[in-house]
Amino acid sequence: MKVGRVLGVEVKVNRYFLLLLVAYTATGYLAAVLVMYGAALLHEIAHAVVAHSYGLQIEEIELLPFGGIARIRDLDLSTLNPQVEGTVALAGPAENLALAAVAWILAGHGVWNVSLAGLFLQANLALAVFNLLPALPLDGGRLLRAYLARSISWRQATDITARLGQALGAVLICLGLVLMRHGFLFINTAVLGAFLWATATAERRWAGLVFLRFLTRKKHGLQSGEVLKGEPLVVASDTELRYVLEKFITGRYHLICVLDKDHKIMAIISED
């Protein structure tokens, strides 16, 4: 359901989010939940603003029962640029930490009600800490992938961080099911875990296709005058292509030197 626009970006509310609000209203936690989701919205807006500064198009922001998501066009391709991915990923948690600091300062000077400021501070700290966990699709996972992609291939970095995301999702599913003994609303933890597991699994499944799209875009960039550093790779003639692709590093143009059984150069092949 559409609820408005923020900085020109359409904001939607998932229908199940509305049901969750009804449930929290019945249990007396409405105020705390509204503060939490307000912080989540500001978190996604921070992602959107930084992504827009890199020329990426933000399609919409949606509030889900377990948080929010900023849908950014061609975000999958931007992840192959470690600087862009790292900066966009860091924007959300950094904004939450900044807002937590502001709430603490205002409450300390009596400008803001201590109770409400405390809720706002806790919500922002919780969002920052959780999102910085090093597992895809969380911001911490994207930061870790951006760091790893500087020294190993993007596909290897994706596989590592996506596996961590699957593990975190499985833990949250189990935790949510156990905690449901103390209250049905803990099902939200299990749903969040299922979402993380499914999204991390999709990241692993589609990594190959995303990388091929990136290679095509890189070729167009070179044709338009872009300059890239070269990266030589040396392989045996019987090496499978998938093992060669796993060694490709983002931001480089690779030249593959193919050797025969006597270790003599048979050919030098470009990415094309």
> With bands split at pLDDT 50, 70 and 90, how would you rate the model's confidence at 24?
confident
Tell whether omega for the bond before 137 is within 30 degrees of 0, i.e. cis: yes
pLDDT at 221 over 70: no
Rounded to an integer, the average pLDDT of 8-14 is: 83
Per-residue burial over 122-150, b = 16 or more CB atoms within 10 Å of its CB, e = otherwise = bbbbebbebbbebbbbbbbbbbbbbebbe
The number of beta carbons lying within 10 Å of the beta carbon of residue 21 is 17
- Which residues is 62 bridged to in the sheet? 12, 69
37-93 pLDDT, tens per residue?
889 989 999 999 999 898 888 888 888 877 788 888 766 666 667 888 899 999 999
**170 versus 17: which is more confidently predicted?**
170
Burial class of residue 71 in the structure, from the number of CB atoms within 10 Å of its CB (0-12 exposed, 13-18 middle, 19+ buried): middle
Dist. CA 246–CA 240, nearest whole Å: 10
Q: What is the pLDDT of residue 75?
A: 65
Dist. CA 142–CA 128, nearest whole Å: 14
**What would the two tokens of residue 220 be?**
């167009």
Q: In what order do the strands lie in the sheet with 2-6?
A: 2-6, 9-13, 58-64, 67-72
Q: In what order do the strands lie in the sheet with 265-270?
A: 229-236, 252-259, 265-270
Within 8 A by CB and 6+ apart from 73, the residues are 56, 57, 58, 59
Q: CA of 73: how far to CAs of 28, 57, 79, 102, 220, in Å?
A: 38, 5, 12, 32, 19
pTM of the full structure: 0.81
What secondary structure letter does DSSP report for 254?
E
Within 8 A by CB and 6+ apart from 240, the residues are none
Q: Distance between alpha carbon 111 and the CA centroid of its chain, in Å?
A: 35
Helix axis angle for 154-179 and 187-223, nearest 10°, is 170
